[in-house]
Chains A and B, each alone.
Chain A
Amino acid sequence: MLTILLLLLPLVLSLIILLFKDERSIRTVALTGALVEFGIGIAAFIQYKTSCHCNLLFSADWLSTLGVSLKFGMDGISLLLVAMTTFLLPVIILASFNHSYTRPAAFYSLVLFLEMALVGVFTAFDGLMFYIFWELALIPAWFICAVWGGDDRIRITFKFFIYTFAGSLLMLVALIYLYFRTPLPHSFDFQWLYAVKLSPVEQIWIFLAFFVAFAIKIPVFPFHTWQPDTYTTSPATGSMLLAGIMLKMGIYGMIRWMIPICHQTLQQWGSIAVILAITGIVYASLIALRQDDLKRLVAWSSIAHMGLITAGVLILSQKATTGAVIQMVSHGINIVGLFIVIDFIEHRTKTRSIAELGGIATRAPRLAIFFMIILLASIALPLTNGFVGEFLLLLGLFENNTVFAAIAGLTMIFGAVYMLWMYQRTMLGKTNELTGAIPDLTRTEMATLIPLVVLIFWIGLYPSFFLDIVLPDVQQILRFMR
């Protein structure tokens, strides 16, 4: 029941919010709604943790002649990602209050609609449902970026839309193919799809279709070219939604669909994909070293981080996959935090150019402290959330192939280089005309960042709480390994 409630609430809200006219009440509805949704998320979490590990399943027939059912549920992996989504949404909405978006009703309606679609992606236990929500998520995301975005947004978002859409069509083809290979009456139910026996050649094709679809979304090198431009041009809220939550759809899809269905191909040919992912880590880190736009720098760092997560998922290791799930959540928290900080800086100085900034710590020490904590988390300092995931991912990689781990480990060094460089050039040094008179964080702004920092340390200090939820289901997905 909770699952379906999680799905319906944002949908209903996204419609209700259109009835409101003035910005204040729209904001109130959006934030309250997102908080209620978060409350339901917590309730689901508690129910899962305490009473049952019963997948919180909801199932209803729909188009039963076609074998499509409204089957939604949550295992540990879904649960964690849904919890992350519902947690980040109020934070992102609160952070958006610094901006006065034109047509706010439409804006927040799209944001809530996107939340619904994301929850749908993470909870669908039916192949076609997964695909439908996957595409549903793209539409509000595209509108948010294309309508409220910055310079050159039409060209950039067009590329983003076509590119990711082309990828998802490949996924649809793969899903339909699998559907016709299920025994009569055909079904899109994930258990049925998992059970399909494919010949090695078939599996390679299915793998390729899935891989390209997910790789574009994540994005994995060399399918990443839409990403830096899109993140940079999107409105702040859009970047947070895209980088914080949406790109996890790709990794999630890999874990939920690609691995169980194509594991033989992965065992044989997976290392080629792993090499791509690891190349991406080094490639993106190197490029991040010389970016001047704060958002673009973070976008590149995100490609590097996602490269590591992807590599970890592709090697079919229990540790690395568990680490990947934790790292998805951590990355969501950290990158949203970084984008929020950048947004606060831009809001104050009207620039994102690193060269024009400096000395902010003098004027805004609180902002500097929050920035430092989030930055340390994203360079994986122990006792922050970033370390747990990175440790497990790298250890998993190491068990698989020491050279991969050594190269992927370079992210530890490069990450420190570009992040500290960014921090130094924006926060430290002497103030200038732009930064000389800026105010420190307001209470609302603090309220936005504090939840993130709490989770950074919670996951960093006591990750067992989260790992225990994920591990059984990772074992379930990787059970063919034994």
Chain B
Amino acid sequence: MTLIVVLILLFPLLGFLVLGLGFRNIPAKVTSILGPGTILISFILSILTFFNFTISPSHHFTISLFHHLTTSPVHELFSWISVGDLQIPFGLLIDPLSILMLLIVTGVGFIIHVYSIGYMKNDPGYNRFFAYMNLFVFSMLLLVMGSNYPVMFIGWEGVGLCSYLLIGFWFKNHEYNNAAKKAFIMNRIGDLGFLLGMFLLFTTFHSLNFQEIFAGAKSMEPGNVTLMAITLLLFVGAVGKSAQIPLYTWLPDAMAGPTPVSALIHAATMVTAGVYMVARSNILYALSPTTMAIMGITGLATTLFAASIAIFQNDIKKILAYSTISQLGYMFLALSVGAFTGAMFHLTTHAFFKALLFLAAGSMIHALGGEQDIRKMGGLSKKLPISRLTFLAGVLAIAGIPPLSGFFSKDEILLKSFEFGHFIWFIAVIGSLMTAFYMFRLFYLTFSKDFRGTEDQKHHLHESPAVMTIPLITLAVLSILGGLLNIPAIFGGNSSLEAFLSPVFTDAGAILEHQTPLTPSTGWILMGITLAGVLVMILWAYQRYVKQDKGLLPDEASRSVIITLISKKYFVDEIYNLIVVKPVLWISQFLHRFVELRFIDRMVDGVGQIVVRTGNTLRFIQTGNVGFYMFIMVLGIILILFFNILI
């Protein structure tokens, strides 16, 4: 078992090393096999792990910490850092939660790798691209498999690095490089929070291993201040990685990377790391109601904020980026109301449909020779039928139309938040109405009506090759059927994902168990309201963008103040620039020019000069006149006597 677990991790690393070290000498054909191949092997091994885990009863272990485990889910490979009482093993944890993530990362990762064969064809950095992608999958796997916070942190920073490398993949463009740097630095701000959270965990529990920490936490009181501090610090890390307010501005810029990167890293996997981390630490969070409240507010605010920006964007990838931020907000909302399974379920379906949306968008961008402005698209249905159908599946899924996957996962979050508070539910529903609106706006502006681009582009319009469309179709199927993973009882399902993940979440569930579950009839009503709203939104979008031809205003066109504010993304980047970047640079200048050169350095030189001057002065004392020396001596004796009397 340990061997398989290690191999899952090792293959992508191997792929990275081979492609990275021989980057000039490996022909593209070999790369096309090697790059996706390593991920495929990891995927197959992950499936093996999954079956091994579910079928054989001897492996039916839980994280339940009251009992000693017969088979440990933790595979410790070697001692990584050990100093005195600090013992950090390089350990991997295989439990339902990590298995779910393994399957998503390797499964969706493999599909996106295959798609990249077509998308990145003819790029001079073909091998480099696959090397980075393999390294990313390795880091992401380490993140989800780590059996303690530091090993998770290796992956956590590793995916940040890969994100940096891939956003700035076309490194001749300084704007892309700036976007990459911004992503890394904003992530690092969050990472400092994560690091301090780890330190506080260590001083509290004297361990950094999940098992020991969670076992220790269970005996603590809900509302414990230390736990609140820990969870808040870790949440700062999640805010950075998962692009929540206030650290979200790097994600839209990250769209500078090649589209498969946006699909894999900035939609399906890396940005969900924060959600995974909170779900992993569920017990800590369940015991910290204040943190949960802050997380809920952050999530909800991010959902609405990002969704409102998405409505007025015209870059197809930016719309999807804001939509990702908004959906991640949903996941944090779910976590904050204790719907850990709901968050993981939405994470899963979101990985399917958002990856699909990005890849389909990539297919369009590809067909249009790099054009990303939806005002210059339109009428793509005829030439791109597969892209259109698959994109539509993604749009329907994210909008929450039954029986597509997004419907089930979003509905679960909405119902849980209704249990928690009606107002929360109401806001969350508004968010999902906005989602439906901007997604259909996007869909109509790109596919309906006539083509609005140049004649040249029109001639080149083509459907993507099979190596790109087959991944699209696969993801479309997953987006449609993904809901089957967790059909709730209300539809006669048995919530299989919930059952699968329950060992991880039981303890937290027991702590949070105080709401009365909804009656089925309330559930039906709420569902009906949401669905009706969504349909209205779709119709409205149809009315505006198909019937009335709106939404094609150029950037310069005059708009009302509020719409200008939103379409300029609330000027958040500008504000950050003004209150953070500029002052820091100014302080830097001030410290160097003034404090360093005018003050400290001068003082040091001054001391030196004083010594020289004193020497110059003192040499006059050495007169060689014995009488003078006698005089000084007597004077000295008198002074000493005088001081003796005084003291």
Alpha-carbon distance between A286 and B596 when the two chains are bound, in angstroms: 12
Given contacts A394-B195, A428-B177, contact A286 B188 (CB under 8 A): no
- By the criterion CB–CB under 8 Å, are B596 and A381 in contact? no
Residues on A with beta carbons closer than 8 Å to the beta carbon of B81? 388, 391-392, 463-464, 467
**Cβ of B513 to closest chain A Cβ, rounded Å:** 34
Q: What does the 1/0 interface line of A385-418 toward B look like (CB < 8 Å)?
A: 0001001101100110010011001101100110
- By the criterion CB–CB under 8 Å, are B171 and A417 in contact? no
Tell me if B157 is interfacial: C-beta within 8 Å of chain A: yes
- By the criterion CB–CB under 8 Å, are A412 and B184 in contact? no
Residues on B with beta carbons closer than 8 Å to the beta carbon of A416? 184-185, 188
Residues on B with beta carbons closer than 8 Å to the beta carbon of A67? none
Tell me if A163 is interfacial: C-beta within 8 Å of chain B: yes
Tell me if A318 is interfacial: C-beta within 8 Å of chain B: yes
Give the contacting residue for A391; candidates B150, B200, B592, B595; CB below 8 A: B150
Q: What residue of chain A has the Cβ atom nearest to residue B153's Cβ?
A: A382
Tell me if B459 is interfacial: C-beta within 8 Å of chain A: no
Alpha-carbon distance between A395 and B161 when the two chains are bound, in angstroms: 23
Give the contacting residue for A406; candidates B150, B196, B585; CB below 8 A: B196
Alpha-carbon distance between A318 and B171 when the two chains are bound, in angstroms: 43
Tell me if A471 is interfacial: C-beta within 8 Å of chain B: yes
Residues on B with beta carbons closer than 8 Å to the beta carbon of A413? 185, 188-189, 192
Alpha-carbon distance between A322 and B84 when the two chains are bound, in angstroms: 10
Residues on A with beta carbons closer than 8 Å to the beta carbon of B605? 159
Residues on A with beta carbons closer than 8 Å to the beta carbon of B604? 163, 225-226
A193-213 residues with Cβ-Cβ distance < 8 A to B are none
Residues on B with beta carbons closer than 8 Å to the beta carbon of A410? 192
Alpha-carbon distance between A410 and B191 when the two chains are bound, in angstroms: 11
Q: What residue of chain B has the Cβ atom nearest to residue A285's Cβ?
A: B588
Residues on A with beta carbons closer than 8 Å to the beta carbon of B178? 424
Residues on B with beta carbons closer than 8 Å to the beta carbon of A475? 84
Q: What does the 1/0 interface line of B587-610 toward A look like (CB < 8 Å)?
A: 111011001100011001100100
Tell me if A348 is interfacial: C-beta within 8 Å of chain B: no
- By the criterion CB–CB under 8 Å, are A464 and B600 in contact? no
B537-590 residues with Cβ-Cβ distance < 8 A to A are 584-585, 587-589
- By the criterion CB–CB under 8 Å, are A395 and B588 in contact? no
- By the criterion CB–CB under 8 Å, are B196 and A398 in contact? yes
Give the contacting residue for B199; candidates A162, A361, A405, A471; CB below 8 A: A405
Alpha-carbon distance between A319 and B208 when the two chains are bound, in angstroms: 15
- By the criterion CB–CB under 8 Å, are B84 and A471 in contact? yes
- By the criterion CB–CB under 8 Å, are B192 and A286 in contact? no
Q: What residue of chain A has the Cβ atom nearest to residue B173's Cβ?
A: A429
- By the criterion CB–CB under 8 Å, are A398 and B203 in contact? yes
- By the criterion CB–CB under 8 Å, are B82 and A467 in contact? yes
Tell me if A376 is interfacial: C-beta within 8 Å of chain B: yes
Q: What residue of chain A has the Cβ atom nearest to residue B171's Cβ?
A: A428
- By the criterion CB–CB under 8 Å, are B154 and A429 in contact? no
**Cβ of B219 to closest chain A Cβ, rounded Å:** 22
A415-431 residues with Cβ-Cβ distance < 8 A to B are 416-417, 420-421, 424, 427-430
Alpha-carbon distance between A412 and B588 when the two chains are bound, in angstroms: 17
Starting from the known contacts A462-B80, A467-B82, 8 additional A-B residue pairs (CB-CB under 8 Å) come to: A162-B608, A318-B84, A381-B158, A382-B157, A398-B199, A413-B185, A428-B168, A467-B81
For the complex of A and B, 5 pairs with smallest distance between CB atoms: A398-B199, A382-B154, A428-B171, A289-B588, A225-B601
A-B contact pairs, 23 of them (CB 8 A): A225-B601, A283-B591, A318-B84, A319-B83, A319-B84, A323-B83, A362-B172, A388-B81, A391-B150, A391-B195, A392-B83, A394-B195, A395-B199, A398-B203, A413-B189, A416-B188, A417-B185, A420-B184, A420-B185, A421-B181, A424-B177, A429-B177, A471-B83
